[in-house]
Amino acid sequence: MKNKRLIPVENDLFYVADRIKSIDDKYKIYYNGESRKFEVRNAEDDSLQVVLPYGQLDSRAVDYVRKTRIERIDALLEEIERANAEAEKAAARLAKEKAFENIRI
């Protein structure tokens, strides 16, 4: 391990490290003391797989790792596109409502 600020997480209260390892046996969890974030890395080449957006390890971390796996890239991109389209529709609807508010007397 090159980065001394990375602390391996071997055991945790909710067995998150074990559950993430069951997703991919090459996955290993570290706590980054500098960024104060948990990271999932590939144990073979130490490549960063994902930085967990949670301050603690719990079932959300397991779900997040499953959701962000490269094998799910097509589904994830589709989900992002769908969310963007919904946001655009909502913004257009709001703009239309505001425009009509200004016209009413």
* Per-residue confidence (pLDDT) for residue 75, from 0 to 100: 78
Identify whether residues 27 and 78 lie together within a single domain.
no
- Two tokens, residue 45: 């080449």
Count CB atoms within 10 A of the CB of residue 76.
14
**How many folded domains does the chain comprise?**
2
Average pLDDT, the chain: 89
Give the CA angle between residues 58, 59, 60 to the nearest 5°.
Answer: 90
- Two tokens, residue 48: 């960063």
What are the CB-based long-range contacts (under 8 Å, 24+) for 78-86?
none
Identify whether residues 36 and 63 lie together within a single domain.
yes
- What totals of helices (H) and strands (E) does the chain contain, helices first? 3, 4
Structural domain including 40 reads 1-68
* Per-residue confidence (pLDDT) for residue 56, from 0 to 100: 93
pLDDT (mean) for 58-83: 85
Identify whether residues 47 and 76 lie together within a single domain.
no
Higher pLDDT, 16 or 69: 16
Say whether pLDDT at 98 is over 90.
Answer: no
Helix (H, G, I), strand (E, B) or coil at 81: helix
Identify whether residues 54 and 32 lie together within a single domain.
yes
Count CB atoms within 10 A of the CB of residue 59.
10
Identify whether residues 58 and 81 lie together within a single domain.
no
Phi, psi of 81 (to 5 degrees): -60, -45
Identify whether residues 26 and 41 lie together within a single domain.
yes
Please report which confidence band the pLDDT of residue 17 belongs to, taking 50, 70 and 90 as the band edges. Answer: very high
Please report which confidence band the pLDDT of residue 78 belongs to, taking 50, 70 and 90 as the band edges. Answer: confident
